[in-house]
Amino acid sequence: MPQHDLEDDAMIKGVEYSTVDFTGRAAEAVEIEHCRFTGTRFTGSDLRRCVLSDVEFETTDFASVRTQDVSLLRSTARSSRFTGMSWSNGFFRDVTFDNCRSDSALFRYSKFKKVVFRGCNLRQADFQRAELRDVRFEDCDLEGAQFAHADMRNVRFEGCTLLDVGGAASLKGASVQGPGAMELALSLAREAGIVLEP
């Protein structure tokens, strides 16, 4: 473990972590490649200028983690927790979030390219001024999520809950399938100042 610890300028390759506790760590300029994390805790950690590529997260806890300029590439997160995480100004490419809890997560100013959110809890998640390219939300709960000034291209919502979405007008060009289409229409009407009476 000492030679594979989370510390400044660390380069970690091909390591499998199981039930390791990185709670409250602070690390900068870390590179992690071809690693697997199972039952690992990063709760409350602070990560800056890090690159994580070809990584698998399984039942990993990122609650209340703070990041700045962190990239996640060609990776998968399954049944993991991102509640209250701040991942601002990040970069996500070829990433799948599967059955993850990401309520109140902060993704402001981040860039997403070829990313899938599947079966995720994204209530109150904040995508303000984020850039989304080729992104799919499948069967996700996005109630109260914020998309103000987001830049979207080829974004699709399938079977998602879209109640009380903020910045609904910024979803221009996105495609919506399922009951979320009507929920989104209500959010658009509210932002336009339209009162819908029964």
CATH number at residue 30: 2.160.20.80
pLDDT exceeds 80 at position 119: yes
Model's pTM, two decimal places?
Answer: 0.90
Query: To which residue do tokens 């987001």 refer?
Result: 150
Number of domains forming the structure of the chain: 1
The one-letter amino acid code at 8 reads D
The predicted-structure confidence for 132-165, as pLDDT tens digits, reads as follows 999 999 999 999 999 999 999 999 999 999 888 8
Q: Which two tokens stand for residue 6?
A: 């989370």
Q: Of 103-107, 119-123, 158-162, 163-167, which range is least confident?
A: 163-167
3-class SS shares of the chain: helix, strand, coil, % to 5: 10, 45, 45
Q: What is the pLDDT of residue 2?
A: 44
- Bigger pLDDT: 12 vs 198: 12
Strand intervals (E) in the chain: 11-13, 16-18, 26-28, 31-33, 36-38, 46-48, 51-53, 56-58, 66-68, 71-78, 86-88, 91-98, 111-118, 131-138, 151-158, 175-177
Q: Does residue 150 lie in a domain region? A: yes
pLDDT exceeds 60 at position 195: no
Q: Does residue 60 lie in a domain region? A: yes
Q: What is the pLDDT of residue 190?
A: 65
Tell me whether residue 194 is exposed, middle or buried, using C-beta atoms within 10 angstroms of its C-beta: 0 to 12, 13 to 18, 19 or more. Answer: exposed
What average pLDDT does the segment 127-136 reach?
A: 96
Q: Of 1-5, 141-145, 181-185, which range is least confident?
A: 1-5
Check residue 167 and give left, alpha or beta (phi > 0: left; psi -120 to 50: alpha).
Answer: left
Q: Does residue 198 lie in a domain region? A: no
pLDDT exceeds 60 at position 1: no
Q: What is the pLDDT of residue 110?
A: 97
pLDDT exceeds 70 at position 92: yes
Q: Does residue 127 lie in a domain region? A: yes
Please give the residue range of the domain that contains residue 157: 2-191
The predicted-structure confidence for 10-33, as pLDDT tens digits, reads as follows 999 999 999 999 999 999 999 999
How sure is the predictor about 170, in pLDDT bands with cuts at 50, 70 and 90?
confident
How sure is the predictor about 35, in pLDDT bands with cuts at 50, 70 and 90?
very high
